[in-house]
Structure formats: structure tokens, C-alpha cells
């Protein structure tokens, strides 16, 4: 009998469920978008109940599209937008506040207060691998406990639970208030600013310093083991949930970056470049994050260096939704192809400040180099080039931290269908860019983690042999042009600093 592995991918803009066969091929997929709730400038929220309802819908949808039933599926993996924070009542499953999304910058005052000491932004870096920034979960939990009436007391009494989206989906899938499993995996825990990267446990001192009661935190487990089973009456009734990975780590796994020195770059709402550093934990001196890559059952923990860029695909959305310059995301390629270059314009999308490698919350977006010559096509090109330039910045930081010189770059995500962007990426990096046949590497990575735990796949060798190249872009731009363009970009970035008083 044919059997499959399912993956739930709870992302920033949508939730999807995908079914995979033993060759890592996509059998079916269902996807639903959720609302982006933007109550004020810099605030971004999601409704956790809407996301849980969408999760159930897409699981049923994926089964229906493949024309199979739950018993044809051997196990389910979960992957998720990382850092996004939900706090809910243990007794009822009711969230006490909307989910605060990773892009949300409302906690900058808390972050600045915590960073006042001698080590500044690096106060917790040695233990957690992360700089102090609004990006991570800890200050979001603190904000909810400080701002929802009675929340801190209730958390201290053990009445409230915290989870990222993996935990929220897992807890609800396994019964919610009725015996739901309150667990996360090491990759998600490594994004909270509360986990010790070496012990893989919550750090009690950091929890106390940031003001997060440990009783509300989930238990930390590996990325590949059976955490629990779907409640019997649910769509995947009785199936084991056997893999959890944060979405960028899942993509790294799905891209078969399984040896030190291998890296992938995912182009979605933001861009996330992860380099496998093996069992070595490399602390960055150049603005990158140290994060858990994956831990398969009892095997050794694999670490990664990560360059997180907040705004890439979302800049294309902004051009569509806020300026109306394009009617749909793919139209940007046509518009940008109408001109030969950027006409001198550079667009630095510091909408949430700048993430890696700058970590400047005082920065705000800017378009520089404008003259009367610049037209819509040049702006479209500047939007796409911003993604390519930002990627080069994090690759340079990665090289400085690790000594690894990338000889090619594996890519995936929603933007990599854009040929013009892919060619520009190869041109500005000076190395080939390679796209795999299965571009849905995030869901695939979570499926692999679940499938390994139940013996559907035997070893990581299966992941390597399933990976196949779809297309490659080789650099065509002369080196002096490449360097001159990049210098202009670096100058443009400096113009965004010191904007927020």
C-alpha cells in the first residue's frame, strides 16, 4: 500500500498542508492565507484561533486533493514561522492576546532597557547566540504579561501557557485543554532568547532577567521524535506528530544542507540564509545569529549561522498593495525587464529597522539616488536588487565569521520563480545560484524530520539522494561593475541609519 508523510507549514502569510511521497515528491497541497492585523505603525499581529481553524482546513484539503484518507498517512511534521508569540489559557485554550508576529517592533523600549549594560545588545549572546532585538519571542512574552490585565499573576500561578506557532498547533492538535501536549523543538526554542544553546534547556537567569515565568514555557525536545498523536476526532485522527522544525531550519534540512559548509537562502516574506556549521557552535562577530539547525532524535545537535533579512518579498507586496505599481507579485519582473538597469536608484527597505548584519532598530526605509530620469521600471528593479544586495551583505558576514567561501548558493521560496532576480543574485555574488526541483523545501524538511522518526525514510542519505537540481544561473556581470554596484548599495544603507529619534 502506498503511504505518505504530511507536513503542516504555518507561515507568516499563510498556512499550508502538503503530502509527500517516498521520493520527496509533492502529492498534494492546500493553502489558506490569514489576516495581517496592523493596529499601529510597527505592530503586526495574527489571530491564533483563525490560524488553528485554517490549519484544520488545509489538512482536510490536502487529503481531499490527493483523494486519500488519514490512514494512508504515516506521520505528520510541523514547521512554522519562528518567534511569533502566543500566550493562552491552559484551562480553556483561549489566547489572552493576538499572536505578536516576529516583524513586530513594539518591544523596542524593553529591548533598549535590557541592552543598557556593559555588553549592550550582546548581553545574552554567549548563552543564546542572539543579539537583543525585538525580533525574538522573549520580549514579546514580557510585553503581553505587562500589558494584559492580570496576566503576570496568572502566568506565575501556572494558568497561562506560551508557545510559538509550532507549540500552538501541536497543543491544539493533540487535544488542547483536554491533554494537549505542551512541547517545542530545539530549533524553535533557540529563537526565543531564553534557551541555552549548549544545554538545550531554558536558562533560568535569563528568564528572570527578562521577566518570563518558566512555568509557562513548553518542554524542549528534539526535532524528530513522536511528540504525541492527533486527537481521535480530528482530521488526522490518531496520527503521530513526529517532526518539528522552525521554517528556516526545515528549509535547510529539506535542501539537504547536511554537512558543515553547506548553505541555503530562502526568499519569502523576508530572506533567511543558513549555513550548517556542524556540531560546532560559532558565535558571530559580524551580526549573524547562532541557531540550532536540527537535532534528529538522540543524534548530536547541528548548529547553523543565520543571516535574517526582514524585508524582501514583502517589499514586492508593498509595491503592489501600498503603491499600486503592480497588480500582482509576478508582474514586477515584466516591469523591471523594461529597463536595462536601476537608473541610479537604490531602495533600502528598513521597514522594521534593519536586521542582519546591521541590527539597527533606528533605521527606516529610503530610496536614494533619485533623479528625474528614474521611472517605474527602475523602481521595480531597485526593489528586486534590494533582495540581492542584502543577501550579499549576509554572505560577506558569514564568510568573515566562518571562513566559508560559498562556491554556489542553493535557493528556494516564493521569490525564486523570478528569473531576473535570480540572475541579478548570481551577478552580485559572483557565484552560481541553484534552484532545486522541489522548491517547497520548508514543508519537505518537516516531512523528512517526521518520516525519519517513524522509519518512513531510513537515514539522511535518503534526503541527499532525493535532492535534484532544477535550474542554475551563472554570473555574467564584470567584476568591476559588480563591486561598483555593491559600493553604491553600501552607501545607500548608511543613509537609513539614525532616523528614529
Ligand X SMILES: Nc1ncnc2c1ncn2[C@@H]1O[C@H](COP(=O)(O)OP(=O)(O)O)[C@@H](O)[C@H]1O
Ligand Y SMILES: O=P(O)(O)OC[C@H](O)CO
What are the binding residues for glycerol?
82-83, 135, 247-248
471 and 421 Cβ atoms separated by less than 8 Å? no
- Among 30, 45, 83, 401, indicate the residue that binds ligand Y (CB under 6 A): 83
Using CB under 6 A as the binding rule, whether residue 332 contacts ligand X is answered as yes
* From 113-121, 142-150, 170-178, 240-248, span contacting ligand Y (CB under 6 A): 240-248
Q: Residues 200-229: x/- map of binding to ligand X (CB under 6 A)?
A: ------------------------------
Rg (CA), the chain: 22
Report, in Å, the least distance between residue 329 CB and ligand X: 4
158: number of Cβ within 10 Å: 11
Using CB under 6 A as the binding rule, whether residue 306 contacts ligand Y is answered as no
Using CB under 6 A as the binding rule, whether residue 415 contacts ligand X is answered as yes
9: number of Cβ within 10 Å: 27
- Sign of the CA dihedral running 248, 250, 254, 256: positive
All residues at 6 or more sequence positions from 46 whose CB lies less than 8 Å from its CB, including other chains = 34, 35, 36, 37, 84, 98, 99, 101
- Among 39, 120, 238, 330, indicate the residue that binds ligand X (CB under 6 A): 330
CA distances for 443 relative to 6, 19, 448, angstroms: 8, 9, 9
Q: Please report which helix (H) or strand (E) contains residue 418, including its range.
A: none
- Among 24, 131, 175, 268, indicate the residue that binds ligand Y (CB under 6 A): 268
CA-nearest of 451, 438, 25, 431 to 251 is: 438
Using CB under 6 A as the binding rule, whether residue 414 contacts ligand X is answered as yes
* From 118-126, 185-193, 314-322, 368-376, span contacting ligand X (CB under 6 A): 314-322
**In the chain, helix, strand, coil percent, each to 5?**
35, 25, 40
302 and 278 Cβ atoms separated by less than 8 Å? yes
* From 157-165, 328-336, 401-409, 447-455, span contacting ligand X (CB under 6 A): 328-336
CA-nearest of 194, 232, 197 to 214 is: 194
385 and 405 Cβ atoms separated by less than 8 Å? no
192: number of Cβ within 10 Å: 29
Dihedral (Cα; 191, 192, 197, 201), 10-degree rounding: -140
- Among 5, 7, 10, 11, indicate the residue that binds ligand X (CB under 6 A): 11
- Among 269, 276, 284, 290, indicate the residue that binds ligand Y (CB under 6 A): 269
Which residue's Cβ lies closest to ligand X? 414
Binding-site annotation: residue ranges for ADP: 12, 16, 269, 313, 414, 418
The option from ligand X, ligand Y, none interacting with 104 (CB < 5 to 8 A, set by class) reads none
264 and 412 Cβ atoms separated by less than 8 Å? yes
Residue with cell 549576509: 394
* From 26-34, 219-227, 267-275, 323-331, span contacting ligand Y (CB under 6 A): 267-275
Using CB under 6 A as the binding rule, whether residue 11 contacts ligand Y is answered as yes
Q: Residues 257-276: x/- map of binding to ligand X (CB under 6 A)?
A: -----------xx-------
Using CB under 6 A as the binding rule, whether residue 381 contacts ligand Y is answered as no
Using CB under 6 A as the binding rule, whether residue 349 contacts ligand X is answered as no
CA-nearest of 421, 423, 430 to 481 is: 430
Task: Report the half-sphere exposure of 251 (CA within 13 A, side-chain side).
Answer: 29
- Among 4, 88, 97, 102, indicate the residue that binds ligand Y (CB under 6 A): 102
Using CB under 6 A as the binding rule, whether residue 314 contacts ligand X is answered as yes
The option from ligand X, ligand Y, none interacting with 83 (CB < 5 to 8 A, set by class) reads ligand Y
CA-nearest of 221, 145, 161, 212 to 188 is: 221
The option from ligand X, ligand Y, none interacting with 329 (CB < 5 to 8 A, set by class) reads ligand X
Kindly tell me which of 52 and 202 has the beta carbon lying closer to ligand X. Answer: 52
Binding-site annotation: residue ranges: 12-14, 16, 82-83, 135, 247-248, 269, 313, 317, 414, 418
- Among 5, 6, 12, 63, indicate the residue that binds ligand Y (CB under 6 A): 12
- Among 247, 333, 427, 485, indicate the residue that binds ligand Y (CB under 6 A): 247
* Strand boundaries in 301-432, DSSP class E: 302-309, 346-348, 366-368, 409-412
Report, in Å, the least distance between residue 31 CB and ligand X: 9
Asked if the bond preceding 228 is cis, omega within 30° of 0, the reply is no
Residues that bind ligand X (CB under 6 A): 11-14, 268-269, 313-314, 316-317, 329-330, 332-333, 413-415, 417-418
User: Which residues are near ligand Y by CB under 6 A?
Assistant: 11-12, 81-83, 102, 246-248, 268-270
Amino acid at each position: 500500500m502506498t503511504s505518505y508523510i504530511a507536513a503542516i507549514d504555518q507561515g507568516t502569510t499563510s498556512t499550508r498542508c502538503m503530502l509527500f511521497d517516498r521520493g520527496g515528491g509533492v502529492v498534494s497541497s492546500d493553502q489558506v492565507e490569514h489576516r495581517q492585523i496592523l493596529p499601529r505603525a510597527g505592530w503586526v499581529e495574527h489571530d491564533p484561533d483563525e490560524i488553528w481553524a485554517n490549519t484544520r482546513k488545509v489538512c482536510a484539503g490536502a487529503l481531499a486533493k490527493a483523494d486519500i484518507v488519514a490512514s494512508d498517512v504515516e506521520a505528520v511534521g510541523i514547521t512554522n514561522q519562528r518567534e511569533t508569540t502566543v500566550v493562552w489559557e491552559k484551562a480553556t485554550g483561549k489566547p489572552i492576546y493576538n499572536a505578536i508576529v516576529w516583524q513586530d517592533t513594539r518591544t523596542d523600549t524593553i529591548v533598549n532597557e535590557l541592552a543598557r549594560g556593559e555588553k549592550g545588545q550582546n548581553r545574552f549572546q554567549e548563552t543564546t547566540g542572539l543579539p537583543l532585538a525585538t525580533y525574538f519571542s522573549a520580549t514579546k512574552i514580557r510585553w503581553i504579561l505587562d500589558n494584559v490585565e492580570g496576566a503576570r499573576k496568572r502566568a506565575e500561578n501556572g494558568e497561562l501557557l506560551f508557545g510559538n506557532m509550532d507549540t500552538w498547533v501541536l497543543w491544539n492538535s493533540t487535544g488542547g485543554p483536554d491533554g494537549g501536549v505542551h512541547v517545542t523543538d530545539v530549533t524553535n526554542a533557540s529563537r526565543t532568547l531564553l534557551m541555552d544553546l549548549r544545554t538545550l534547556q531554558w536558562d533560568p537567569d535569563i528568564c528572570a532577567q527578562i521577566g518570563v515565568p518558566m512555568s509557562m514555557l513548553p518542554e524542549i525536545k528534539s526535532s524528530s521524535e513522536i511528540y504525541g498523536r492527533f486527537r481521535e476526532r480530528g482530521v488526522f485522527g490518531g496520527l503521530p506528530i513526529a517532526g518539528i522544525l522552525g521554517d528556516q531550519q526545515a528549509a535547510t534540512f529539506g535542501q539537504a544542507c547536511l554537512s558543515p559548509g553547506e548553505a541555503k537562502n530562502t526568499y519569502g516574506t523576508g530572506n533567511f540564509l543558513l549555513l550548517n556549521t556542524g556540531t560546532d557552535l560559532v558565535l558571530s562577530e559580524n551580526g549573524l545569529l547562532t541557531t540550532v539547525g536540527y537535532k534528529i532524535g538522540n543524534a548530536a545537535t547541528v548548529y547553523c549561522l543565520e543571516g535574517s533579512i526582514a524585508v524582501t518579498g514583502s517589499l514586492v507586496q508593498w509595491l503592489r498593495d501600498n503603491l499600486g505599481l503592480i497588480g500582482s507579485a509576478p508582474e514586477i519582473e515584466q516591469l523591471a525587464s523594461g529597463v536595462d538597469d536601476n537608473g541610479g536608484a537604490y531602495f533600502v527597505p528598513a521597514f522594521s529597522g534593519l536586521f542582519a548584519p546591521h541590527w539597527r532598530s533606528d533605521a527606516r526605509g529610503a530610496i536614494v539616488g533619485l533623479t528625474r530620469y528614474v521611472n517605474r521600471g527602475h523602481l521595480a528593479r531597485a526593489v528586486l536588487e534590494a533582495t540581492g544586495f542584502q543577501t550579499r551583505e549576509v554572505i560577506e558576514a558569514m564568510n568573515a565569521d566562518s571562513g566559508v567561501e560559498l562556491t554556489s548558493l542553493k535557493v528556494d521560496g516564493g521569490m525564486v520563480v523570478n528569473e531576473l532576480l535570480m540572475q541579478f543574485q548570481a551577478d552580485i555574488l559572483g557565484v552560481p545560484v541553484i534552484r532545486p526541483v522541489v522548491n517547497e523545501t520548508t514543508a519537505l524538511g518537516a516531512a523528512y524530520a517526521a518520516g525519519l522518526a517513524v522509519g518512513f525514510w531510513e537515514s539522511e542519505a535518503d534526503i541527499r539522494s532525493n535532492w535534484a537540481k532544477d535550474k542554475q544561473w551563472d554570473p555574467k556581470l564584470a567584476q568591476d561593475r559588480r563591486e561598483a554596484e555593491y559600493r553604491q548599495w553600501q552607501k545607500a544603507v548608511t543613509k537609513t541609519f539614525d532616523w528614529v529619534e
